[in-house]
Structure 1
């Protein structure tokens, strides 16, 4: 009987955070400050081979910074908090990229902590993108 209860408890500990995040955030389909214009498609051309590369976009800089924090051993929960703070500071610039960044953090967290521990840090930052990244990397 104790073994069965423990097994149920473990299952709930893994599934419940994902269910809570999904149920609490599925109503949000679009944020009003997000840029809804399609992204420019960049193509390679022989004409501009010698042109220096453009600097990274703000969302790429943030993604690299947060991934670096994870690689340095910072807990995914702290890194997700930093992501949320940065998106709150600059929503017009970063909100449209929040999902991609959170998904990348989830995938990196699985590599650093394993799927079970990485999932334990899931929270509703950028909808369920972090949990999706963990699931994709598992």
Structure 2
């Protein structure tokens, strides 16, 4: 039992600093990102039926279909659900990994818009998906 406790302690001592560094959102720099067309899609996606959105997504590139779906999900539920689905999508389709930062930033900007410009409320959903890209998106609006 004592050895198990020591092993767990050592594991936490090694893993915890890494997790804290990767999820550290205080070190995010503010950069005035240009507003993308995907932010405008947030408003229109919620007004369309699921069939219309599915038809449009089929015609888009996979990364844009994922972005549109996640932005709609963020509006209907919360940023945590969208970030979890982004993480799952990256695990299922590693070919989309190069778009992860861009999508996560879009989700960050959309979260601020959802909460009427409240950076603090949007930042509360931040997690280490695609490094700190979500937090960067949130900070770029604030």
Alignment TM-score, normalising by the size of structure 2 = 0.58
The root-mean-square deviation of aligned C-alpha atoms, in Å, is: 2.5
Quote the residue 1:79 is aligned against. 82
Unaligned ranges ≥5, structure 1: 1-15, 24-53
- The 3 A distance-change label for structure 1 pair 60 and 135 is same
Matches within 5 A, 1:111-126: 111-113=113-115, 114-126=118-130
Deviations 1:43-67 (A, max 9, x none): xxxxxxxxxxx93110000000000
- The 3 A distance-change label for structure 1 pair 22 and 59 is farther
Quote the residue 1:45 is aligned against. none
Quote the residue 2:111 is aligned against. 109
The offset of 1:119, in angstroms, is 0.2
- The 3 A distance-change label for structure 1 pair 18 and 89 is closer
Alignment TM-score, normalising by the size of structure 1 = 0.60
CA contact under 8 A between 1:122 and 1:130: conserved in structure 2? yes
Unaligned ranges ≥5, structure 2: 1-19, 28-57
Structure richer in helix, relative to its length: 2
Q: Which structure: larger Rg?
A: 1
- The 3 A distance-change label for structure 1 pair 63 and 19 is closer
Q: How many pairs does the alignment contain?
A: 91
The offset of 1:91, in angstroms, is 0.5
The offset of 1:106, in angstroms, is 0.1
